[in-house]
Structure 1
Amino acid sequence: MTVPHPAGPRPVPPVLAHPLDSPVHAALTGPHAHFAERRGRVLRYPADVTPWNAVPDAPLAQDWADAAALAGPGGSVTLTAFHEPPPADWEILFHAEGVQMVDDGVDAAPDAEAVRLGPADVPEMLELVGRTRPGPFLPRTVELGTYLGIRRHGTLVAMAGERLRPPGWTEISAVCTDESVRGQGMASRLLRAVAHEIRERGETPFLHAASANTGAIRLYEALGFRLRRRTAFLSALVPPGLGTRNPDDRTGRLEQTGR
């Protein structure tokens, strides 16, 4: 028997957002859910892992209050892929335009000189980051994924690793080279090696860069990354009087998910 179609147009399936449109949210509700701290609709990584937060695309006053409570008094809320200004009483610590780039034929390959870095190497990694300033790298950032480094005469002089992990994707981050060995191609080698690790898991590498860092962008393009979208990075200071958590407020208590 033929069943007639119901009258009227067929429903259109909803358009799903791409994981890289809000990579922090996608990571913290996906492969990195075990790191997630949540309050209301706001998510963030632990403060000693990485500073990134995820707020709704059109945050309400309550969302900003929840972000403040997660950060605590005097804390800051750091966002990417976010273009809305914070409320007027939030002091902007920095705002920078950026680019998001994705693997478009990177010649990924392991590197014989690269060594895997772990928690025992964090003091050296923090020293290298302090000298080169590639971006946020904190005492527990190494827990986010694979980090590879190159040593010369026993000293760590270059490294690169993995940070955000939206479903199907992994961000390459903390790419840095000591001034004493710049120009020797170490950053390129480590980028290819980390990209190889990511592809071996069946995922696709991507990365972020400040728009003003034209030298790094040229390097990434030469290696086979292409521009996916323009983005922005924002960090704002919690206003005085906000950020206090009430330990008796069970409905608003900070919730750690995935642990």
Structure 2
Amino acid sequence: MITLEEQLKNPVWHSLNETHKKFAIEINGVRFYNPEVCPFGSFEDKCKTKVASNEYVQNIQEFFYVSENQTPEIDEEKIELLKKIDGCQMVLNQLTNVEITEKIVPLSKEMMDEIYDLVWLVMPGYYRKRTYEMGNYFGIFKDGKLVSVTGQRMQTDQFIEVSAVVTHPDYTRQGLARQLIAHTTKEILQEGKKPILHTNKGNLAISLYEKLGFELTRDMNWWLYRKL
């Protein structure tokens, strides 16, 4: 059995081999998500990414490779690197006790459009409408509208990633994200899995995650490529 530590070194790869196998597209030994669900790819051998990328971009204009430390190889006549996002992985050590004062509700498939609009308002780039299918989503409503969301993204039999942590700009500084992260994390723990998350290095939210009990563990970088 592959250990949790090994899975966390390449979370996209192992997610697509287990819980998210139904979303997997494998090309030349490289694994990608169905582009309608998530624009992520993963690999174990960087020498195979050139051929795989050329085929994958026939169905998507832009996509990310997610890698701890390897640099993907690409065909520069067909694909260009837009940017490298220096990211990091955080793993829950022990969840801090958080008082839940807001009404947190599971979000149904009928809310896909509202979730998408809120995520893209606050954090454009990663989320697709069908990203909702990757895990459970929870939200807080104010004044009759969805104003804060937290969801689940990459996952295996051993871990689940907390993701899509967003709050509408008009409703920040009310502790909504903090309560949603705590709630989602508890849901993951109840499944007997390890909560993890990913963010950019230097993100101000890291201090919030640390206060909730998450610890920085390793680099996890996003290489954004575009079809020429």
Q: Does the TM-score normalized on the shorter chain lie above 0.5?
A: yes
Q: Which residue does 1:150 correspond to in 2?
A: 140
Instruction: Supply the AA of the counterpart residue of 2:23.
Output: F
Counterpart of 1:50 in 2: which secondary structure?
coil
Residue segments in structure 2 that go unaligned for 5+ positions in a row: none
- Of 97, 108, 122 in structure 2, the residue corresponding to residue 132 of structure 1 is 122
User: In the TM superposition, what is the alpha-carbon distance from 1:180 to its structure 2 partner?
Assistant: 1.1
Residue segments in structure 1 that go unaligned for 5+ positions in a row: 1-13, 240-259
User: In the TM superposition, what is the alpha-carbon distance from 1:76 to its structure 2 partner?
Assistant: 3.0
More moved, 181-190 vs 70-79: 70-79
Q: Which residue does 1:19 correspond to in 2?
A: 7
Counterpart of 2:117 in 1: which secondary structure?
helix
- Of 51, 54, 57 in structure 2, the residue corresponding to residue 71 of structure 1 is 57
- Of 70, 73, 79 in structure 2, the residue corresponding to residue 86 of structure 1 is 73
Counterpart of 2:8 in 1: which secondary structure?
helix
* Paired residue total: 223
Counterpart of 1:164 in 2: which secondary structure?
strand
Q: Which residue does 1:176 correspond to in 2?
A: 166
Q: Tell me the alpha carbon deviations over residues 37-57 of structure 1, each in whole angstroms, 9 at most, x when there is no partner.
A: 11220111111111111122x
Q: Following the alignment from structure 1 to structure 2, what is the Cα–Cα distance between the partners of residues 108 and 19? A: 28
Q: Is the 8 A contact 2:82 2:225 kept in 1?
A: yes
Q: Following the alignment from structure 2 to structure 1, what is the Cα–Cα distance between the partners of residues 191 and 177? A: 22
Q: CA RMSD in A?
A: 2.2
More moved, 36-45 vs 216-225: 36-45
Q: Is the 8 A contact 1:110 1:193 kept in 2?
A: no
Is residue 233 of structure 1 aligned with residue 222 of structure 2? yes
Instruction: Supply the AA of the counterpart residue of 2:39.
Output: P
Is residue 32 of structure 1 aligned with residue 20 of structure 2? yes
User: In the TM superposition, what is the alpha-carbon distance from 1:188 to its structure 2 partner?
Assistant: 0.5
* Identity within the alignment, %: 29
Q: Which has the higher strand share?
A: 2
Instruction: Supply the AA of the counterpart residue of 1:227.
Output: L
Seen in structure 2, the aligned counterparts of structure 1 residues 16 and 136 have a Cα distance that, compared at 3 Å, is: closer
TM-score between both structures, scaled by the size of structure 2: 0.89
Q: Following the alignment from structure 1 to structure 2, what is the Cα–Cα distance between the partners of residues 224 and 208? A: 14
Counterpart of 2:19 in 1: which secondary structure?
coil
User: In the TM superposition, what is the alpha-carbon distance from 1:74 to its structure 2 partner?
Assistant: 6.6
Larger Rg: 1
Seen in structure 2, the aligned counterparts of structure 1 residues 30 and 131 have a Cα distance that, compared at 3 Å, is: same
Q: Following the alignment from structure 2 to structure 1, what is the Cα–Cα distance between the partners of residues 11 and 181? A: 20
Q: Is the 8 A contact 1:24 1:166 kept in 2?
A: no
Q: Which residue does 1:161 correspond to in 2?
A: 151
Is residue 41 of structure 1 aligned with residue 29 of structure 2? yes
Instruction: Supply the AA of the counterpart residue of 1:192.
Output: A
User: In the TM superposition, what is the alpha-carbon distance from 1:102 to its structure 2 partner?
Assistant: 0.3
